[in-house]
Amino acid sequence: MSGYKRIGRELMHKGAIVELYKDKMQLDDGSVHDWDFLHHPGAAAVVPVDKDGNIIMVRQYRNALGRYTIELPAGGKNPDEDFETCALRELEEETGYKAGHHELLCDIFTTVALMDERIPIYLATDLIPTHQHLDEDEFLNVEKHSLDELVNMIFEGKLQDSKTICGILSYKAKKNL
């Protein structure tokens, strides 16, 4: 199972965020096949917990699903920043809060079968109110939910975003240790 080898890569499309490649892969048995590969520069997410124990979430429209979703605050990493800086920037931009304390909860790759998108997820506490700095094409509502409410929403199928599910359940596990 160690004979997989990329023997070629061709850029098929460069979008605003992702790049689509056709990889030519040699498999263990020597056969050669074309595989799709999406490169994503990475993102970061935050589980912001206020002084009352509520989690600050954002509701926004997602074109891929054609509907609104409730998600953790998150966003793409700029080329010149690390994941931690990205997470703290996105927290303030999307929710209007800064973190007095933060720590890494977990680190995920969202779709390992065909994409390299990495999203570290941070816990943010001791929140300090500031104000939102939304991007010009970003329209979202800030909501507060209890941990129990969000866990129930996961198991009812109402929260389906992978980073949100991982972040909420990681926070629940950490809290229950």
- Residue 101 parent element (H or E): strand 97-109
Question: What's the CA gap between 53 and 126, in Å, rounded?
Answer: 11
Question: What's the CA gap between 132 and 154, in Å, rounded?
Answer: 27
Using alpha carbons, select from 21, 171, 42, 36 the residue that is nearest to residue 113: 36
At residue 113, what is the residue type?
A
State yes or no: is 136 an active-site residue: yes
Q: Tell me which of 94, 136, 143, 156 is the catalytic residue.
A: 136
**Apex CA 51: angle with CA 81 and CA 122, to 5°?**
25
**Apex CA 107: angle with CA 101 and CA 113, to 5°?**
160
Catalytic residues: 136
